[in-house]
Amino acid sequence: MNSFLKTHLQASNRKGAFFLFLLFIGLLIIDIYTRYFCFLENCNFNFYGAGLTQFKNFNFAFSLEVPSLVMYGLYFLLVVSLLAFGYTNLFRWQPWTQVAWICIFAGAAGNIGERIFLGYVRDFIRIGTGFINLGDVYIVLGVAYILWQSFKHSE
């Protein structure tokens, strides 16, 4: 798979940008569809403290209660910062790091888009007493990979 990514993610190549765009759109569609489906079908599944349950998160990340003006201001700063950072650096990174950042961008786009258009984020994956969605999973996986690479290269 690594050679596949290297082939499709060459920095000087339009095909690489198109591949990343398709990956972003694909992840975003899967994230939005799973949220939609779970809320349409009233999903409910329990398995030892985990499962599927509808939860409308009207609060900030991690369900923190933050005033709306502050929340949307932070989202605006986050989006502008991520876009600027990604635009200037995306094609400088290794292929798997690019994929990790695309996961972060797709997860953030799904969550922020719902917050803007619905006023809340639809979470449906219950882990203990918390709730997440696939966008959150994308973000966590992307950040985990980037941190792992940072620690691996710092040794």
For 88-136, the pLDDT digits (tens) are: 888 888 889 999 999 999 999 999 999 989 999 999 999 988 899 999 9
Q: How is the chain split into domains, by residue range?
A: 2-154
pLDDT value at position 11?
Answer: 46
Mean residue pLDDT of the chain comes to 87
Angle at 33 between CA 16 and CA 110, to 5 degrees: 60
pLDDT value at position 17?
Answer: 85
pLDDT value at position 114?
Answer: 94
Of 44, 52, 54, 36, nearest to 110 by C-alpha is 36
Mind spelling out the 3-state secondary structure of the chain? CHHHHHHHCCCCCHHHHHHHHHHHHHHHHHHHHHHHHHHHCCCEEEECCEEEEEEEECCCHHHCCCCHHHHHHHHHHHHHHHHHHHHHHHHHCCHHHHHHHHHHHHHHHHHHHHHHHHCCEEEEEEECCEEECHHHHHHHHHHHHHHHHHHHHHC
Arithmetic mean of pLDDT, 28-47: 91
CB atoms within 10 A of CB 98: 22
